[in-house]
Amino acid sequence: MSAKPKVAFFDFTSCEGCQLTVIDSLQTHPEILDVIDIVCFREAMSEKGDDYQIAFIEGSCTRPSDEPVMKAIRDRAELVVALGACAHLGGINAIRNRFDLDDVRQYVYGDKAEWYETYQARPIKDVIPIDAVLPGCPIDRREFVAALKALLQGRAIQIPDYPVCVECKLKENICVYLRGKTCLGPITRAGCDAICPTYGDGCEGCRGLIPDPNIDSLKQILSEHGLNPEETLAKMTLFLNYQTMEREAVDDG
Ligand code: SF4
Ligand code: SF4
Ligand code: SF4
């Protein structure tokens, strides 16, 4: 890698909020711009370069034409990082995967449905090999800065493998379950400093599942706190749909 690595940002199906968080991070850490060259970043600049070592990809793959573009990025970059829940998990775009695709297309596009080639939403790891993920909706800006520094120093990006509950307890929050709310913190990967419970809301799972989550136990807890099976499914579908459907496919053999 050259003394001043070239970095590129790309977006697929997403709200672009993670790229906005990158811009925020660069404003608060302008020193980063002294040590990298950003050659492509549609949300922030008009120049476009296709010579880069590190590619950050935001957004999920939702149509066949996304695939060759992602593969071309993979061919050019030494390192590819999935940026945010859409790229990491399919994100909220993957909610559609629980429904009949023709119904979804009809609902969204009406009588123009045939104009759009959209298909089931996938995380980018299912299209190209990736080197790391930065979870979250949006990503955590401190985690982005730490990750970029790690890559520039030739180290691997480290993300927590323990649940949000650990960070929540360290912050000495009162558990939202004790306030009549529900929370996916026990099965969700930490790294956001338990921001939602800290401000009084339950975790919605945007950073994805921890390794070996006890989903059955969590469903039991949700049931004991008043959620019916439909409400539980809805809660598990917002960000975790792709991962839970993957697990269901394995369980079904
Ligand atoms: S992960 Fe969330 S903030 Fe980031 S692009 Fe997707 S929807 Fe937007
Ligand atoms: S509020 Fe959520 S994250 Fe915090 S301890 Fe309770 S279940 Fe865990
Ligand atoms: S608490 Fe849960 S939903 Fe909120 S940012 Fe963290 S992982 Fe995402």
Would you say residue 158 lies in a domain?
A: no
Q: Would you state the pLDDT for residue 174? A: 97
43-55 per-position pLDDT tens digit: 999 989 999 999 9
- Could you tell me if 123 and 237 lie in one domain? no
Angle at 87 between CA 83 and CA 88, to 5 degrees: 85
| pLDDT in the model for residue 118 | 92
Q: Is the CB of 204 under 6 A from ligand 3?
A: yes
- Contact yes or no for 140/19 (Cβ under 8 A): no
CA distance 244 to 135: 16
**Which tens digits make up the pLDDT trace of 150-206?**
999 999 999 999 999 999 999 999 999 999 999 999 999 999 999 999 999 999 999
How far is it between the farthest Cα atoms of the chain?
57
Using the atom order of ligand 1, give the atom closest to the CA of residue 21: 3
Do both 45 and 127 map to the same domain? yes
Q: Does 137 sit in the ligand 1 pocket, CB within 6 Å?
A: yes
Pocket test for ligand 2, best of 166, 172, 173 (most atoms within 8 A of CB): 173
Structural domain span for residue 242: 164-251
Cβ partners under 8 Å of residue 66, min gap 6: 12, 13, 127
Question: Does 107 map to a domain?
Answer: yes
pLDDT value of position 251 = 82
Instruction: Based on the fold, state whether residues 99 and 179 are members of the same structural domain.
Output: no
What is the pTM (predicted TM-score) of this model?
Answer: 0.95
Tell whether 170 and 142 lie within a shared domain: no
Ligand with the closest atom to the CA of 186 = 2
The rounded distance, in Å, linking the Cα atoms of 226 and 239 is 21
Low-confidence ranges of the chain (pLDDT < 70): 1-2
What pLDDT, on a 0 to 100 scale, did the predictor assign at position 81?
Answer: 98
Which pLDDT value is given to residue 214? 96
| CA-wise closest residue to 246 among 122, 80, 107, 93 | 122
Flag whether 157 is in a domain: no
Ligand nearest to the CA of 207: 3
